[in-house]
Amino acid sequence: MSQSSKPSMLGSWQLVTGECRDDSSGEQVQYQAVQCRSLKVLSETHFSFITYQGGEFYFAAGGRYCCEGEQYTEWLDFASHPSMQNREFVFQFRIEGDLWHNTRWENGVQVEHEIWRRLDAQ
């Protein structure tokens, strides 16, 4: 991603909606159905996020990220679930106004789709 477009990622984002594939059943889980709430903050080079599910703490992580073209990649340098630490997650993304759409695929199967809303002005 060019320097001129990179600042569009900077700031605070709130999860609006999304879904992910359940590892055990293979079914899509709607974030709203499990009362998933999340905040994500991006600086020039790093991100962090915290997620609550059903009103209770669920997950937190942070690390480095980069954007190239329509690809957004996160490297979890730290995570509240040890099995997630040092993992890489690659998303296809687009920003439309104040909405950030992320979709992640594994082996040709969509495993995650998220829509985030910008909370702060650039």
pLDDT digits (tens, 9 = 90+) for 48-97: 999 999 999 999 999 999 999 999 999 999 999 998 999 999 999 999 99
User: Per the domain annotation, does 21 fall within a domain?
Assistant: yes
What's the rounded Cα separation, in Å, for the pair 94 and 76? 21
- Output the pTM of the full model: 0.84
What pLDDT does 22 receive?
79
Tell me the percentage of the chain whose pLDDT exceeds 70. Answer: 93
Number of domains in the chain: 1
Q: Is residue 66 part of a domain?
A: yes
pLDDT value at 105 more than 60: yes
Q: Which of 48, 37, 1, 53 is nearest to 117 (CA)?
A: 37
Residue 70 in any domain: the answer is: yes
Whether residue 1 lies inside any domain: the answer is no
Residue 25 sits in which domain range?
A: 6-118
In a domain, 24, yes or no: yes
Q: What is the CATH number of the domain that holds 71?
A: 2.40.128.490
**Residue 49 lies inside a defined structural domain of this protein:** yes
Does residue 39 lie within any of the structural domains? yes
Is-contact 41 60, C-beta < 8 A? no
